[in-house]
Amino acid sequence: MAPPPPAASPHPGPPRAQRIVLRNYRMPPRKKAAPRLSPVTLTLLITAPAVIGAALLRTRSGSRSR
């Protein structure tokens, strides 16, 4: 005689979860920022012409004016 077929379990197990495929994270492409001047360079570009101009245009003291 063949053994009796197994009875269906009264409580079926939870449904089988589907496998989730994880992709590698890639950063979105960024726009390249416009080149900026450093604060030191900007200060020099603003003040250097004024300093040079003042040095060239200042009155000269010396033996000529006497």
pLDDT tens digit sequence for 27-38: 888 888 778 889
Higher pLDDT, 9 or 55: 55
Alpha-carbon gap, residue 29 to 35, rounded angstroms: 18
Residue 65: is its pLDDT beyond 80?
no
Alpha-carbon gap, residue 35 to 66, rounded angstroms: 54
The predicted model gives 30-58 an average pLDDT of 90
* Count of alpha carbons within 13 angstroms of residue 16, beta-carbon side: 2
Residue 12: is its pLDDT beyond 90?
no
Contact 33, 25 (CB under 8 A): no
Residue 59: is its pLDDT beyond 60?
yes
